[in-house]
Structure 1
Amino acid sequence: MHRARAAPVSTPSYSNLVGFIFIFNLIVGTGALTLPGVFARAGWALSLVVILLLAIISYMTVTFVIEAMACANAIKNWQNLQVLRRSRNSHSENENDQENEELETVPLMNSSTEFQYYQLTHKFELGEMATLFFNDFGRILFYMCFIIYLYGNLSIYSAAVSRSLRDVICEHDHSNSSDISILESKSLYGAGNFKSNETTACWKDREITRLSMYRLILIGFISIFGPLVLFGIQKTKYLQMLTAAFRWMAFTFMICISIKLLITDGAKGHPVPINIYGVPPLFGACVYSFMCHHSLPGLLAPLRNKSKVSQILSYDYILICMFYIVLAMTGIFAFKHVEDLYTLNFLPYQVESKDFLSGLYIGIDYFLSLFPVFTLSTSFPVIALTLKNNLQILFLDMSQYESYNKFIRLILFPLMTILPSFCVAYITDSLSTLVAFTGSYAGAGIQYVIPVFLLYFSRRTCTELLGSGITNHFQSPFKSNAWLALVLIWSVICVIFVSINLFF
């Protein structure tokens, strides 16, 4: 008598094109806004070489994560098969010898079933894979690296929002360009970019400085969005869609405006080809801009045709690298000075104009200047909640979570989440410094070191359980262990070089 099987629960899935768009939107984010500034400081030639090289290495380590995720699925499938075999054996002890013999011949390495082991159907997050393949010490190092990266993210978001609002609210010193009017210039954006000292007044005849205004806005921002960590409020689907639309409007405006400036006014920026002292922020910004490894499993699991996943990612990386180069190169030549947050190059000019086109440009300026406020404010609670959850996993026994008192659960960990990033952003508003530290250390750990060790130990574990006769169809194109050693050596050299340039 056979038992009726329950109908399988349908899981959400999407096509390769939708997956391509999702991955593109995941990678292209805040980091892209810091690229023009670091390109200008490091030099256009050096920046081109570095971003191309880091794009290739980032793609390599993405394929490492994919193979490790397939190995985790293979181990899960192998474990499920062992449970099924034991269950069937226990129910067939009284069956005839022929049935027992047929049961024992269920193959582990049958070529017709090898693809069933290595899959991407079950979503294994990086933390789950670290728990599966690493020992306790390795798992702690993983969570520490991940937590530091999230702290850096929150600091960058807080500083970017506060700086953007401060620079829109405060007046700008036009004394250095009093002879140049908006009507006399060939472009509304060609009058220059004004970089005021942080100790100067925010408004004329007022004592409050620009730095004080930045810190007041920062306190207000944390006071509004910090408590959301207590209540677990995250972005909704429609808010994500709106944020994505704002992001692409902003990037399109910035590229088009920069190209227009180059055509009408010529190149105002004259960056040097190579400046070795600009490498630390360049390396950190590039690593930060190509980061998708920590969120990749969630995007790959619903992909309908997973056999093309490496190809989809290769197209994404090629397109994103070209997009970054266009965004940065047009910016560094179109503007005499490039801010470390690129949207600050599009601050609205304080002019009175009744011309429709002039008003339209000023409206676009306001939109671009406030763009980080719109997008990063919606992302801040999500990153904060992710950080809080990882802090709890690292320090608490989650199987006994309810046994901890309310102060620990509702007060201590939210404060541990918000306060360190707030203090960092309060001390410095230099986004290039924050991105350099976050990308160069924690970012390099997540993007380079962790994928290398995940792949090495996952391969070893699968070989021990399944043998070497089953082919992993999601194996990285960079199959040799020499690639693992090369990426590891590269990451160590880069971190050492960045550290020397930052501290000496």
Structure 2
Amino acid sequence: MAGGITETGELYSPYVGLVYMFNLIVGTGALTMPKAFATAGWLVSLVLLLFLGFMSYMTTTFVMEAMAAANAQLRWKRMESHKEEDDDDSSSASDNDVLIQENYDRSEKQPILSRDMDLLIFLKSQTVWRWDRWPLCSSIKAVFTLLLGPFTFFDVQKTKYLQILTSLMRWIAFAIMIILALIRIGHGQGEGHPPIADFSGIRNLFGVCVYSFMCQHSLPSLITPISSKKHITQLVLLDYVLILAFYSLLSFTAIFCFHSDSLLDMYTLNFTGCDIVRLVVIRFFLGLFPVFTISTNFPIIAVTLRNNWKTLFHREGEMYPWVVDRVVFPIITLVPPILVAFCTHDLESLVGITGAYAGNGIQYVIPAFLVYCSRKDTKLVFGYGTVNKHQSPFRSSFWVGFVLVWAFSCFLFVTANIILSETKL
């Protein structure tokens, strides 16, 4: 269907889409994870990381299933409309079954969701990095705004080469940090002696881990342009396995290389002022690493929010004026995160609160309700027995309830810990 291409822009392969997802998930949250691991204990941190990774994968499949169901209903309505125009004769039940199944078969090659059906109206809050010198920090943020801000006025597909470039820089930086930490540990210079468990650090660890797996808010912009979605669920699972392995390797090398008291909120800063790195260029490169991570996340998230703004205020049959569509919506999308970046400097609290509260809703509550409502609506529209090709492996209603109970429990746990912390102060 040619319309699929014109609605979503340039399509890309499943592997390119998974690179986009990897870039979106592995952002600044990964750099705050080592300190959270050190304060909560290595065993508790590993168990919680594995569990939250599993929960994030589950809700990601929930969102993809809901997107597929929504797109199937859109195509079904279009087919019914064309059929009424071309043929007044009513179709038989068997013909309907064939048409319904074709809806899901066609979704193997066509975009799952058109742009006017964005599912989430949430923005993953942009974290900011902390520097000791305010003028340098302000200058970097200003340059970042000038270079990355314009991407808000375009589509996510236009960031392909930016994604490739920053992915290369990202892997180089991560490889440098992991290798340097392993060398120091191998030479017997490792200073870290992390505890097995310290439950006082779980609250912050929870917020950091939830934040570090958050991608559900941008799935419509990421999944829609993928050209073939036949094995998308399995490929997303592979992505999560790689991310879990990477997070574990980065965090464990960090907590055994540096003493827990010396680990900074932003892990890269541990390498900019220590004797491990002797070359100034490498120190400078690692110091700017947060810029690379946010550079790939920001355009995708900004485009998602901009499209959600358009959907929120859209009225059926009406078109936005060019100025509103191409100027106003991108500006109201760009301004809030820039203001937060210039006004906030407490990275640990920002990531913790974002992950614990906003992340709880984005990653657990919204996907659970989306898939529950989509399954119920699909049965009403298509009838029982219809097979959704992109149905989540967690198709039992038990998993939906489990996610909601977990989300509510996390909310109570984090809130209670914050109240207790404030009381102690």
TM-score normalised by structure 2 residue count: 0.83
Per-residue deviation at 1:60?
0.8
Q: Could you give the per-residue CA deviations for residues 199-251 of structure 1, whole angstroms, max 9, x where no partner exists?
A: xxxxxxxxxxx4x5477547745874697489669864332221111011111
**Aligned-residue offset at 1:344:** 0.8
Is residue 271–residue 283 contact of structure 2 (8 Å, CA) maintained in 1?
yes
Using a 3 Å threshold, how does the CA distance of structure 1 residues 470 and 214 change in structure 2: closer, same or farther? same
Determine the C-alpha separation between the residues in 1 that align with 2:150 and 2:10: 28
CA shift in 2, pair 1:51/1:334, >3 Å = same
Residue 376 in 1 paired to residue 299 in 2? no
Rg: which structure is higher? 1
Where 2:264 maps in the other structure, the secondary structure is: coil
Cα separation, 1, equivalents of 2:307 and 2:227: 29
1:383, CA displacement in angstroms?
4.2
Q: Which amino acid aligns with 1:462?
A: T
Unaligned runs of 5+ residues in structure 2 are: 421-425
Opposite residue 29 of structure 1, the aligned amino acid is G
- Equivalent in 284, 287, 290 of residue 210 of structure 2: 287
Q: How many Å apart are 1:9 and its aligned residue?
A: 6.8
- 1:1-400 map, 5 Å: 15-90=13-88, 100=89, 103-104=91-92, 107-110=95-98, 114-117=101-104, 119=107, 121-124=110-113, 128=117, 130=119, 143=121, 146-147=122-123, 149=124, 152-153=125-126, 156=127, 159-160=128-129, 163=130, 166-167=131-132, 210=133, 212-213=134-135, 216-217=138-139, 220=142, 224=146, 228=150, 236-303=159-226, 305-336=228-259, 337-348=262-273, 361-377=279-295, 379-380=297-298, 383-384=301-302, 386-391=304-309, 393-394=311-312, 399=318
Residue 123 of structure 1: how far off its partner (Å):
3.5
* Separation of aligned partners in 2, 1:30 and 1:7: 36
Deviation at 1:116, TM superposition (A): 3.2
- Assess, with a 3 A threshold, how the Cα gap between structure 1 residues 313 and 374 changes in structure 2: closer, same or farther: closer
Following superposition, the deviation at residue 65 of structure 1 comes to 1.2
Q: Does 1:461 align with 2:386?
A: no
**SS of residue matched to 1:307:** coil
Distance in 1, matches of 2:213 and 2:22, equals 10
Q: CA deviation at 1:26?
A: 3.4
Whole-angstrom distance in 2 between the partners of 1:73 and 1:489 = 29
Query: Closer, same or farther in 2 for the Cα pair 1:413/1:335, shift >3 Å?
Result: same
Count matched residues: 412
Supply the distance in 1 between the matched residues of 2:149 and 2:229 (Cα, whole angstroms). Answer: 39
Contact 2:32 2:267 in 1 (8 A): yes
| In structure 1, C-alpha distance between the alignment counterparts of 2:320 and 2:2, rounded to whole Å | 33
Partners of 1:8 and 1:68 in 2: how far apart? 18
Report the residue type matching 1:342 in the other structure.
Answer: Y
Contact 1:34 1:341 in 2 (8 A): yes
Change (3 A) 1:469 1:220: closer
Q: Structure 1 length normalisation: TM-score?
A: 0.71
Amino acid at match of 1:32: A
| C-alpha displacement of 1:409 | 8.8
Aligned equivalents of 2:5, 2:277: Cα separation in 1: 56
The secondary structure found in structure 2 opposite 1:439 is: helix
Distance 1:387 1:129, change over 3 A: closer
Secondary structure in structure 1 of the residue aligned to 2:285: helix
Contact map agreement 1:31 1:289 (CA 8 A) in 2: yes
When structure 1 is superposed on structure 2, of 28-37 and 420-429 the one drifting more is 420-429
The answer to whether the 8 A contact 1:34-1:340 is kept is: yes
Deviation, structure 1 residue 88:
2.2
Assess, with a 3 A threshold, how the Cα gap between structure 1 residues 422 and 472 changes in structure 2: closer, same or farther. Answer: closer
- Structure 2 distance, partners of 1:297, 1:477, is 19
Moved more, 437-446 or 426-435: 426-435
Match of 1:402 among 321, 340, 347: 321
What is the aligned-residue identity percentage?
40
| CA spacing shift, 1:278–1:114, aligned 2, 3 Å | same
One-letter code of the match for 2:409? Answer: I
Q: 2:113 corresponds to which letter in structure 1? A: F
SS of equivalent residue, structure 1 residue 265:
coil
Alpha-carbon distance change, 105 to 499 in structure 1, aligned in 2, over 3 angstroms: closer
Offset at residue 296 of structure 1 (A): 2.6
- How many angstroms apart in 1 are the aligned matches of 2:138 and 2:360? 33
Q: Which residue of 2 aligns with 1:483?
A: 399
Which deviates the most, 252-261 or 306-315? 306-315
CA contact (8 A) 2:4 2:114 kept: no
Contact kept in structure 2, 1:31 and 1:285, CA below 8 Å: yes
Contact 2:20 2:163 (C-alpha < 8 Å) held by counterparts: no
Question: Any conservation in 1 of the 2:141–2:341 contact (CA below 8 Å)?
Answer: no
CA distance in 2, matches of 1:129, 1:497: 31
For residues 456 and 331 of structure 1, the distance between their equivalents in structure 2, rounded to whole angstroms, comes to 41
Q: Any conservation in 2 of the 1:35–1:286 contact (CA below 8 Å)?
A: yes
Alpha-carbon shift at residue 451 of structure 1 (Å):
0.8
Deviation by residue 1:428-475 (Cα, 9 ceiling, x = unmatched): 412111111111112221111111111011111110011012222322
RMSD: 3.6
Alignment-derived partner of residue 348 in structure 2: 432
Greater shift in the superposed pair: 379-388 or 489-498:
379-388
Equivalent residues of 2:58, 2:394 under 8 A apart: yes
> Quick one: distance in 1 between partners of 2:152 and 2:388?
43
CA distance in 2, matches of 1:8, 1:224: 32
